[in-house]
Structure 1
Amino acid sequence: MSQADPATAPPSWPVGADEAYAAARRGLADAEQELRDQVERVAAARRALPPGPLLDDYRFAEGPTDLDRAEPIREVRLRELFDGHPTLFLYHLMFAPDAAEACPMCSMWVDGFHGVLPHLLRHTAVAVVAKAPLPKLRAWARSRGWAGLRIVSSHGTSFNADVRAEYPDGTQRPMVSVLRAEGERVRHLYSAPASFPDGGERGIDLLSPVWNVLDLLPTGRGDWYAGNDYVAEPGAGRSAPR
């Protein structure tokens, strides 16, 4: 696709908009471009981080790629999750061993990653890890329709605590991590929890299209919280809750 000349591009408002709207929209465009530039600067700083620590080669439990099958269960090393890629994008799913279901917000994020999985796999390996036992974790993945997404259980390991994907009391913490393969070792490059150090949220919201679309609406995101109740079984019609 050829890039159009910005000087000849039509404005971002329809015919009939008055000058007050046009002026406000031009000012907003300046702010949006400034935000874009800041996002680029932060991304460059993220890539320029010094090397993180080498991680232990943790052993996780993994089932067959067909989520309808329960067996066989195998032990998979952290290094194996790279699947030929130099990097691994890992989502730490909040799903405690004694919980009945996974965190709705985490599940929403993974829904999004699953939807663009073929594109992500052109660049990096992708996996979801949770502390829930594997049968419970796979049943949840099946109910969400996460076919083709590597789902592994860290149950019985110190992985969550070691990478700070949980609090000292064992409470789960939503987080994303980027890891790099170095020979047979794995190096930590970057992690981002859902909350910032000051306690504010939205730490990884840029990774979900849901938040970005809600921010475009007149009502904004408000105090809305994702739910597990309105996500239909795979193949069923999806409702449109209000």
Structure 2
Amino acid sequence: MAARRALASAEQDLRDQLERVAAARRRLPPGPLLADYRLAEGPADLTRSGPARSVRLRDLFEEHETLFVYHLMFAPEAAEACPMCSLWVDGFHGVLPHLRRHTAVAVVAKAPLPRLRAWARRRGWAGLRILSSHGTSFNADLRAEHPDGTQRPMVSVLRAEGDRVRHFYSAPASFPDGGERGIDLLSPVWNVLDLLPEGRRDWYAGNDYVPAPAASPEPV
């Protein structure tokens, strides 16, 4: 019983620390204004083909003042997206109706739009705004890729400021010291695994065991 009480106290301390960090995040000074990026987007229905259209970053906010972006690791030459990134986006997709009551949401990747949409269709990400930053400096400017072009898993929060967009916050999957688990709190998978007697161990997500949705026809 003493061990369980001690654990409960430690968990309460962790909760309080998380709240202090969240408060510090909200007090951050304004970030820089961003360029007027134009990203490529297809039809809202992933099962339909159609010409890509150029979308201003500012227009992704819709009626909201903020935009939550997941920077999906999917290099232009890659055949598949990063399995860990796909795991995170699976989770965001699952709670999308709740998130959209507070913020606009978008997934942006460097892969060309047709390949990116095919991946989103395979994962069943219906309803998510899926955009390609191929041919732009968006990834590099927001540090969602390294100088050598290697993709970097990351989330960003952007704020609308009139007709412009200002950066508010970004969190990469790895901390500056090289340690991982930078955005693990954003996925329920890790939190549930940490509750198990064996913990998360060295498990790594895969793309091979996630079945395609039952109704995922090819674009028409």
Which segments of 5 or more consecutive residues in structure 2 lack a partner in the other structure? 216-220
How far 1:72 sits from its partner (Å)? 3.0
1:58 aligns with 2:37: yes
Query: Quick one: which amino acid aligns to residue 166 of structure 1?
Result: E
Q: How does 1:86-125 map to 2 (within 5 A)?
A: 86-125=65-104
CA offsets 1:126-145 (integer angstroms, 9 cap, x no match)? 00000000000000000000
Equivalent position SS for 1:201: coil
Over the residues paired in the alignment, what is the CA RMSD in angstroms?
0.7
Q: Distance between the aligned counterparts of 1:139 and 1:72, measured in 2?
A: 15
Equivalent position SS for 1:203: coil
How far 1:188 sits from its partner (Å)? 0.1
Equivalent residue pairs, number: 215
Residue from 28, 31, 38 that aligns with 1:49: 28
How far 1:73 sits from its partner (Å)? 1.6
Q: Distance between the aligned counterparts of 2:59 and 2:202, measured in 1?
A: 40
Equivalent position SS for 1:137: helix
> What TM-score do you get using the length of structure 2 for normalisation?
0.97
Equivalent position SS for 1:55: coil
Residue from 172, 175, 180 that aligns with 2:151: 172
> What TM-score do you get using the length of structure 1 for normalisation?
0.88
How far 1:57 sits from its partner (Å)? 1.2
How far 1:23 sits from its partner (Å)? 1.4
| Largest Rg, 1 or 2 | 1
Paired position in structure 2 for 1:77: 56
Residue from 149, 152, 164 that aligns with 2:128: 149
Q: Distance between the aligned counterparts of 1:157 and 1:229, measured in 2?
A: 31
Paired position in structure 1 for 2:218: none
Which segments of 5 or more consecutive residues in structure 1 lack a partner in the other structure? 1-21, 237-242
CA offsets 1:26-61 (integer angstroms, 9 cap, x no match)? 110000000000000000000000000000010000
Query: Quick one: which amino acid aligns to residue 36 of structure 1?
Result: R
CA offsets 1:148-178 (integer angstroms, 9 cap, x no match)? 0000000000110111000000000000000
How far 1:84 sits from its partner (Å)? 1.2
Give the structure, 1 or 2, with the largest relative contact order (CA under 8 Å, sep 6 or more).
Answer: 2
1:38 aligns with 2:17: yes
Q: Distance between the aligned counterparts of 2:104 and 2:120, measured in 1?
A: 18
CA offsets 1:37-95 (integer angstroms, 9 cap, x no match)? 00000000000000000000100000011101120321000001101100000000000
Percent identity of equivalent pairs: 84
